[in-house]
Structure 1
Amino acid sequence: MRSLERHRDVGAYALGVLDEAEAFRFEDHLMECTSCAAHVTEFGPASRQLMLYRRATPRYVHPMAQPGPRLLDRLLDEVSARRRAGRRRFLYAVAASVVLAVGGPAVATLAGGGDGAVQLTATDAKSGVWAQVTAANENYGSDVSLKIKDGAGPRSCRLVVVGRDGSEQVVTSWNVPAHDATMITMQGGAAMHPDEIDHYDVRTADGQQLVRLTSH
């Protein structure tokens, strides 16, 4: 696959329509292309809205059918509910950060409400990398959001979820700019549900562990 074709696949990758081989090749490209990595992040909100539409649309409805006002109302209600839940998780995170500042443990674990959301925050004393993972329970597994600060670039990194059975899945990958500790935010998904995940590892492309966030 040529470089230009890889750039064109960013939308298909973000929407999850590439086959396994194409997705694997694109992820290799993604570790070297900051432009595509940024575009994948930008596609996150659109992907989630399409997922909401798919869930709210019966299977027998033609894919080109126009959504009615009730469907729009349901979508808006769900988006509002998610935003309220996000604000609650943010307040929990602020409270946890106060505890950490006073001298608490290096990892804060916050469990959300009935949606099974989990938020973890950790700073590795050796690497200096700070990371926050929020995993929301979905029908397919987990909707994972990662925020990270890493001033030791340039380097390629990835977020790996490790299940309680020892299995591993790569959630997302990115490039760390040179000597830039600005927070990076990324979105990804895992086939495991939050309660099936033992921990989250931020690793370099060659497997070096930068920070671990344990869910128990």
Structure 2
Amino acid sequence: MKSCKHYVLIILLGFWMLISGCEDVEVMTGVPENVKKIRITMVAKSADNPVFLSALAGAEAAATNISDKYSKIDIEIDWRTPKEENPSVQAERIVNAVNDGTDAIMVACSSESILTQAIDHAVNKGVPVMTFDSDAPKSKRFAFYGSDDQKIGETVMDELAKLIGNKGQIAILAGNKEAPNLKKRVAGVKKAASKYPDIDIIDVFIILKMQMLLLTWC
């Protein structure tokens, strides 16, 4: 959870520098005049995911810290994350945020192809976009901040292999099959698994498929 808050702070600093450009920024010494309101729209994957709730808390804390530290800046976080993961809803909310006059957007992409169009639309309208957690590398976003997801998958497989003595049957439990970061993690597991000839991957179970399997067992 701490890492989520940390990278959101970095994202906000990046947006602040991009939007502020070369304007002089003064450290707060008294009551500011002519405060510039900056609205940053945040579109994570799902509003009920603790990871993204932590990211929201980090974004709001960072916005407050920056606003308190510098005069002429007041940052507002505009939370437009769908309740359940849905890339089409994410894309719609990005378009709506642009129409509502947001200054910048940060998004965790549930689908690279669907979100690329929405991101490019925002950038073409003059709104900078940064991705976090899950990227759309072919879009016009100016930066991505996240982990090396394939390396994570490889590390998980290597650690699991140690626990089962480098042999046995395993299953991969993944989330949204369209999410770019989760695709890379699954690919990382499979790549590392190729080093262990006595380990057999039964299947890759996505969330909905796994829920149905559990219901069948029960």
User: Is the TM-score greater than 0.5?
Assistant: no
Q: Which has the higher helix share?
A: 2
**Structure showing greater Rg:** 2
Q: TM-score, normalised by structure 1?
A: 0.32
